Amino acid sequence: MEQKIVQYMAIIPNEYRRKNMDNNINLAELLFGNIDKTPDYYEEKYPPRTLGGAPVTRIGPSPTGFVHLGNLYNAMIGERLAHQNGGRFFLRIEDTDSKREVEGAVELIISSMDFFGIRFDEGASEDGDSGSYGPYRQRLRKDIYQCYAKELVKKGLAYPCFCTEDELTQMREEQISQKLNFGYYGKWAKCRSLTFDEVKRRIESGEPYVLRFRSSGDEQNHVKVFDGIRGELSVSENYQDFILLKSDGIPTYHFAHVIDDHLMRTTHVIRGEEWLSTLPIHVQLFDALGFERPIYCHTAVLMKMDGDTKRKLSKRKDPELGLDYYRSEGYVPAAVREYLMTVLNSNFEEWRLENPEADINEFKFSLEKMSSSGALFDIMKFEDVSREVLLRTPACKIYDEFSSWLLEYDPEFYELFTKDREFSEKIIDIGRSGNRPRKDLTSWRQAREFLSFYFPETFRLESSYPEKVSEADRQEILGRYLDSFSIEDDSAAWFQKIRDITADLGYAVKPKDFKKNPELYKGSVSDVSAVIRIAVTGRQNSPDLWEICRALGEAEMRARISRAQTND
């Protein structure tokens, strides 16, 4: 198929243009009499940025009340691309669809991005907007869109359409019955050929209308578009007279995107792949308006494994899609970013292994290392990354962050945890040093459960005692442990005492001896230790018991053993 890029202005026949020029100017005045600025005014007001070609990127979330992982994913790309290369990164609120807007949604977007450490150089912020390319909220830009809409009308590239819902439905039915493409195009585009007088009459009589683009594209033509992630794409030219302004004068996404990203001088439009299908409309508009196209970067949709099948993360089924999930579950922002970076750039994990302590921003992010097929979000892997990140986090920082989470989500435990900072930092660090440090903490919610046994108020017997140990032996073990315990003992002396109890009661000191000759023993040292461990921690698994006993202090430890003796 022949591939060519069509110049939209050029294909409108001269004769038509001459005849209609006056009409178009009159029509532009009729529709947009209130608009006195010209595109030149805005071009001057928002001049090309002087950044020596460094990237200018943005996110453009809609204030629907749901901020999702995809928003953060795209924000990280934009933020890295700009900040790594001396560019600018901004936040634009895409609030043209007031039906979907919920109260407080803008604040939610701002605070979510802030929570995840995404810093904007300009754009919408809590105390209004900052930056010289604003306003950064689309609803405040109505005059700007209308100015360009007026220009398109003047050039014969846009026209008002009065078709009602019913008429459009009827048109669609006819198209179905004739097995034709749906939509407003060619001979179906009834309002394309309305005379000026007709338009004037209908407007004066108060008929609502939308403004449509007059497309001269042909589905058979292909347009080449460079995508920063996917490389060169070839898309069918748009032939539909799509809507530029809705009946309330507010633009559609398509028109707002083109005007905003041009005037805000965005160099890279990073957005989800769901916009690929309307890309032909966007490039057509950029070309028709004589704007330089940005580099589009369409990111892969986030997927997850569901059994053996891969599917899109769904708002309804997967709470992990919403950013508020991470906050309320107490996953640290650094872990979420760290994990997303492993999804974003295939070489990140290798870099991290080589630079375990480095700041994530020292990693050189690149678009070339991004995959264009579905990005797999694996919650298990994310949790592994979270554990690694928390292991690298010093206890004093964990204390601070965990405390603020507790204050919001579990005030009762907050009281316990913050009573003695020294104690709390000590228990966080138990088992975290040495060659094989434990990775006990994953999230704050899990940490709250995990650390609960250290506090008398939340201590509970969670595991049952080993079956191999009789009730009488259990009493014996606990009694002898209490009698022999000394807080002065080092770890070796402490363990020797447990071994002595083990041997005296007929259990194997070495578990492998028990395995070899089970008939000779009642069990092994692991069973004896388990009894003490369960009495002290309530659990079968815990960090080093000697360290735990020391951290709890002698009195508390003795109290727990005594309680276990009475089965209380």
Q: Which residues of this protein are in contact with ligand GLU, per CB under 6 A?
A: 60-62, 94, 257, 269, 271
Nearest-approach distance from CB 62 to ligand GLU, in angstroms: 4
Amino acid at 312: K
Residue with Cβ nearer ligand GLU (61 or 251): 61
**b/e sequence 270-300, b meaning 16+ C-beta within 10 Å:** bbebebbeebbbbbbbbbbbebebbbbbbbb
In this complex, which beta carbon is closest to ligand GLU, that of residue 73 or of residue 453? 73
Residue with tokens 């990775």: 439
Question: How many C-beta atoms lie closer than 10 Å to residue 4's C-beta?
Answer: 13
φ/ψ of 477, rounded to 5, equals -60, -50
**Of 268 and 327, which CB lies nearer to ligand GLU in the complex structure?**
268
Instruction: Enter the tokens of residue 130.
Output: 């900052």
User: Contact, 330 vs 445, CB < 8 A?
Assistant: yes
Instruction: Catalogue the long-range contacts made by 105-113 (C-beta closer than 8 Å, 24 or more residues apart).
Output: 105/63, 105/64, 105/65, 106/63, 106/137, 108/63, 108/65, 108/67, 109/61, 109/63, 109/67, 109/71, 112/67, 112/71, 112/72, 112/323, 112/324, 112/327, 113/59, 113/67, 113/71, 113/72, 113/75
Q: Tell the smallest beta-carbon distance from residue 69 to ligand GLU (Å).
A: 13
| Euclidean distance between CA atoms 376 and 34, whole angstroms | 50
What minimum distance in Å lies between the beta carbon of 87 and ligand GLU? 17
Q: Tell me the C-alpha distance between 254 and 256, whole Å.
A: 6
Report the SS3 class of residue 231. strand
Determine the Cα–Cα distance for residues 154 and 270; give it in Å rounded to an integer: 32
The token pair that represents 4 in the structure block: 């060519």
Q: Which residue has the tokens 């020294």?
A: 422
Whole-number Å distance between alpha carbons of 148 and 142: 10
In the complex, what is the shortest distance from the CB of residue 374 to ligand GLU, in angstroms, rounded to a whole number?
A: 18
CB nearer to ligand GLU: give 61 or 156. Answer: 61
Do 161 and 49 form a contact (C-beta atoms < 8 A)?
A: no
Nearer to ligand GLU, 322 or 431 (CB): 322
Q: How far is the CB of 91 from ligand GLU (least distance, A)?
A: 11
Q: How far apart are the first and last CA of the chain?
A: 83
The closest of 284, 257, 315, 222 to 59, measured between CA atoms, is 257
Q: Find the shortest distance in angstroms from Cβ 72 to ligand GLU.
A: 13
Using the minimum distance from each CB to ligand GLU, give the nearer residue, 276 or 509: 276
| Nearer to ligand GLU (CB atom), residue 94 or residue 527 | 94
Minimum distance of ligand GLU from residue 79's CB (angstroms) = 14
Report, in Å, the least distance between residue 228 CB and ligand GLU.
14
Report the nearest approach of ligand GLU to the CB of residue 217 (Å): 21
Structure letter (DSSP) for residue 524 = B
- With respect to ligand GLU, which residue has the nearer C-beta, 62 or 542? 62
User: Sheet harboring 231-236: ordered strands across?
Assistant: 231-236, 222-227, 295-299, 268-272
To the nearest whole angstrom, how small is the minimum distance from the Cβ of residue 275 to ligand GLU?
6
Q: Give the separation between CA 521 and CA 523, rounded to whole angstroms.
A: 5
| Smaller CB separation from ligand GLU, 107 or 306 | 107
Q: What are the structure tokens assigned to 144, written together?
A: 């700007």
Least gap, CB of 269 to ligand GLU (angstroms):
6
Residue 434 backbone class (left: φ over 0; alpha: ψ -120 to 50; beta: rest): left
Residue (296 or 459) nearer to ligand GLU, CB: 296
Ramachandran region, residue 330 (left: φ > 0; alpha: ψ -120 to 50; beta: rest): left
Question: Of the two residues 160 and 294, which places its CB atom closer to ligand GLU in the complex?
Answer: 294
Q: Which is nearer to ligand GLU, 244 or 534 (CB)?
A: 244
Query: Closest separation between CB of residue 15 and ligand GLU, Å?
Result: 38
C-alpha 188/C-alpha 239 separation (Å) is 12
